[in-house]
Amino acid sequence: MNLDFTAAQKLKNLLTEVSLLIEEYTAAVCPGCHDVCCKQRHGMMNDLDRRYTGTLGESVPSYDPQRSLDGPCQFMGNEGCTIPRWRRPWRCTSYFCVPLLMAMEQGPQKKARQISALIQEIVDIRGEW
C-alpha cells in the first residue's frame, strides 16, 4: 500500500466522520434555503479531487455539458446531494454559507470544534499531496 492510497483512505474516513456532524446542521438549514449554493460549477472536481478519487479506485462522475454552470448542481436531489460526501469535490464540503455558520455558532460548541478540527486535518492531508 503506497502513501497516496493510505492518505486517500484517511481522507475518506475523515470525510465520512465530518459528514455525520455537518449533516446535522444541513438537514436543518438547507431545506428552507431559497438561494441554493450548490451550483453546477462548484460540483466539478479539480485535479486534486480527481487524484484522490482515482487513488481510491473510484470513477469521477460524468458531468452534463449542457447544464448551466450557474444553475443548481446536477447531483442535487430532493434531500440534498446524491453523492456521498467522501466522493464530492472538496469545495462542496469546505464551503459553509452564512446560515450554516450561524447554526453552528448557535449550536453546541463542542460539535463545532469537532467539525473545525476534522476540516483542519483534511486540509493538512490534502496539502501534503
For 54-85, how does the pLDDT look when each residue is reduced to its tens digit (9 = 90+)? 999 999 999 999 999 999 999 988 888 999 99
Q: 15-33: b or e for each residue (b if 16 or more CB lie within 10 Å)?
A: bebbbeebebbbeebbeee
Number of structural domains, the chain? 1
The pLDDT of residue 3: 58
d(C-alpha 50, C-alpha 104), whole Å? 30
Domain hosting residue 99, numbered range: 3-128
Q: CB of 128 within 8 A of CB of 48?
A: no
The pLDDT of residue 35: 77
Q: CB of 53 within 8 A of CB of 85?
A: no
The pLDDT of residue 105: 94
The pLDDT of residue 51: 93
In the predicted structure, residue 37 carries a pLDDT above the cut 90 = no
Instruction: Quote the mean pLDDT of the chain.
Output: 91
